[in-house]
């Protein structure tokens, strides 16, 4: 099984690219979904978050208040580091378990859809790293429309991740998503066709 690590900075369109690959028949491991499961009520992950931040960061029904936690960690790098230290180990372990199950399946292609693939140091777990990019202006506009963020909050989220340049430096293939949906689909399908034909990334 050939596993593509799909990543990109926030609002670059990575999830849209993952959906397109799913439509092409690839199995997709959603790292964001795994991260959410890792802090569900009753998990060690949520207990760790409460120990770190306190019960003020829970919703009335006992779930992690994602909006409140996000406002804290994206505005303070030290808080982000503390938060990651308690939740990342459980998330990485769960992702590695999913990837091991994929590796045991017959030959083909699969995708690890992971916005923090490189931040987690998991590039060695995949066969290629695909980075979806878009300009800062495009991503800020998307976050305003999609998440209701103001410009300052959107820039905080961009600053909290590795930059496009840092991600591109570690990429096997780079796909720009600053244009139309049709252009993104064409680029994704071209990259997949290259993998299936055994063509190595030109960057190499």
In terms of residue numbers, what domain contains 151? 2-39+98-196
Model confidence over 28-40: pLDDT tens digits? 999 999 999 999 9
Q: If DSSP states are collapsed to H, E and C, what string results for the chain? A: CEEEEEEECCCCCHHHHHHHHHHCCCEEEEHHHHHHHCCCCCCHHHHHHHHHHCHHHECCCCCECHHHHHHHHHHCHHHHHHHHHHHHHHHHHHHHHHHHHHHCCCCCEEEEECCCCCCCCCHHHCCEEEEEECCHHHHHHHHHHHHCCCHHHHHHHHHCCCCHHHHHHCCCEEEECCCCHHHHHHHHHHHHHHHHCCCCCCCC
Residue 44 forms part of a structural domain: no
Residue 85 forms part of a structural domain: no
Residue 69 forms part of a structural domain: no
Question: Looking at residue 136, which CATH number applies to its domain?
Answer: 3.40.50.300
Q: What is the pTM of this model?
A: 0.86
Model confidence over 91-104: pLDDT tens digits? 999 999 999 999 99
Residue 62 forms part of a structural domain: no
Q: What is the pLDDT of residue 107?
A: 84
Q: What is the mean pLDDT of the chain?
A: 93
Overall number of domains in the chain: 1
Residue 14 forms part of a structural domain: yes
């Amino acid at each position: 099984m050939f596993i593509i690590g799909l990543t990109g900075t926030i609002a670059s369109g990575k999830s849209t690219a993952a959906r397109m690959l799913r439509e092409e028949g690839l199995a997709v491991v959603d790292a964001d979904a795994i991260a959410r499961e890792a802090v569900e009520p009753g998990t060690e992950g949520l207990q760790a978050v409460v120990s770190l931040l306190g019960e003020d960061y829970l919703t009335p029904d006992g779930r992690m208040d994602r909006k409140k936690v996000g406002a804290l960690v994206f505005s303070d790098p030290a808080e982000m580091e503390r938060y990651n230290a308690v939740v990342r180990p459980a998330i990485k372990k769960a992702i590695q378990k999913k990837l091991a199950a994929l590796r045991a399946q017959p030959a083909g292609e699969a995708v690890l859809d992971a916005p923090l693939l490189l931040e987690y140091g998991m590039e060695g777990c995949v066969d290629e790293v695909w980075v979806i990019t878009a300009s800062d202006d495009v991503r800020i506009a998307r976050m305003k429309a999609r998440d209701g963020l103001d410009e300052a909050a959107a820039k905080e989220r961009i600053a909290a991740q590795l930059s496009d340049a840092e991600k591109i430096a570690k990429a096997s293939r780079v796909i720009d998503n600053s244009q139309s949906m049709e252009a993104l689909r064409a680029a994704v399908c071209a990259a997949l066709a290259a993998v299936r034909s055994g063509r190595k990334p030109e960057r190499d």
